[in-house]
Structure 1
Amino acid sequence: MPLPVVSQEVYVERQSPPFGVWLLAPFAGLLTALVVLPLSLAAAVALFAVVSVTIALLLLRSSSRIVVTDGTDPGLRAGPAYLEAWHIGDVVPLDRDQTRDVLGPGANALAYLAHRGWISTAVRVEVRDVEDPTPYWVVSTRRPLELASALDAVRPPLAD
């Protein structure tokens, strides 16, 4: 009896903010604490902790994962959205200028954007589903060539 084929991750990217942005949390906490320090040292320490932890949690929450799976459930997961492999059309890796264009002047209002402002490159993934009004996805990635290659590997051959 053959073993069942399970889904496996062929590409995973965690899109956390860069290190410099994480320094914002204690810095904002310190500035807030300095405002109330003349009134109470205890309040200043408490505000430092609350503001620092709150900003750190918000930054953690703004992180997302890009996952390409193969096997029984092939496809692309970008944040909360999922695109099945047989709906993946042409995949185009975008450099910094192309990403800026597809997010700005060349944007389509119906496109799905899985964009993170601290990542300057992306991949444009055409959606091949006649019932889906979304023409394409724009997915931020630090490794556009690797993501495009992984998507090309998991999707079925394109029929024209």
Structure 2
Amino acid sequence: MQPYEERLTAPRSWWFASVLVGVAMALIMLPFGTLPLLGGLVGGTAVAAVVTSAYGSVRIRVVADSLVAGDARIPVSALGEAEVLTGEETRAWRSYKADPRAFMLLRAYIPTALRVPITDPDDPTPYAYLSTRHPEALAEALKAVRQSAS
């Protein structure tokens, strides 16, 4: 059983924006007739929805002895103590405090995050910044895996 799993879905307003993209494409196709107008509406909405879905399909999981965030798989043994970020700290760590070498799984529409130092001396990545709606639960899951491994 996985102690933690989260999908960083896109907000509802982005799905509404997908429909607006379809309407814009329909208006662009309006001078060419009714069939192109409908094609623009359906095609524009579909393409925008696929892009929105792909951006919102990233997952964060704690599986066995690893943290899986998007395409990254980091052993929990290579992680330090997690720091829960909220409010101004979240904005600071994704902007002026950010290290360009850090692993950033950033979703600006999520107001909370977790910053986890990477302690592996062979890895130049100083920390992982993970946008998450449940930073306390993710920190607890990482702590539980670390304690069970020792």
TM category (shorter chain) comes to over 0.9
Alignment of 1:60-99 (within 5 A): 60-63=53-56, 64-70=58-64, 74-99=65-90
Partner of 1:35: 28
CA drift of 1:35 comes to 2.7
The sequence identity of aligned pairs, in percent, is 32
CA drift of 1:40 comes to 0.4
More helix per residue: 2
| Residue 109 (structure 1) aligned to one of 97, 100, 106 | 100
Contact 1:86 1:156 (C-alpha < 8 Å) held by counterparts: no
Deviations 1:15-54 (A, max 9, x none): 0111111111111101220232243000000011111010
Which whole-Å CA distance do the structure 1 matches of 2:7 and 2:130 have between them?
Answer: 12
CA drift of 1:156 comes to 4.5
Equivalent residue letter for 1:67 = R
Contact 1:75 1:155 (C-alpha < 8 Å) held by counterparts: no
Which whole-Å CA distance do the structure 1 matches of 2:111 and 2:82 have between them?
Answer: 17
Structure 1 alignment gaps of length 5 or more: 1-7
Equivalent residue letter for 1:119 = I
Structure 2 alignment gaps of length 5 or more: none
| Residue 10 (structure 1) aligned to one of 3, 7, 10 | 3
Moved over 3 A (4+): none
**Aligned to 1:37, what secondary structure does the other structure show?**
helix
**Aligned to 2:36, what secondary structure does the other structure show?**
helix
1:152 is aligned to 2:143: yes
CA drift of 1:69 comes to 1.5
Equivalent residue letter for 2:59 = R
Which whole-Å CA distance do the structure 1 matches of 2:23 and 2:69 have between them?
Answer: 35
Which whole-Å CA distance do the structure 1 matches of 2:52 and 2:28 have between them?
Answer: 23
CA drift of 1:104 comes to 1.2
Equivalent residue letter for 1:65 = R
Deviations 1:56-87 (A, max 9, x none): 000111121010123xxx11111000110111
Contact 1:85 1:156 (C-alpha < 8 Å) held by counterparts: no
Report the TM-score, using the length of structure 2 for normalisation: 0.93
More strand per residue: 1
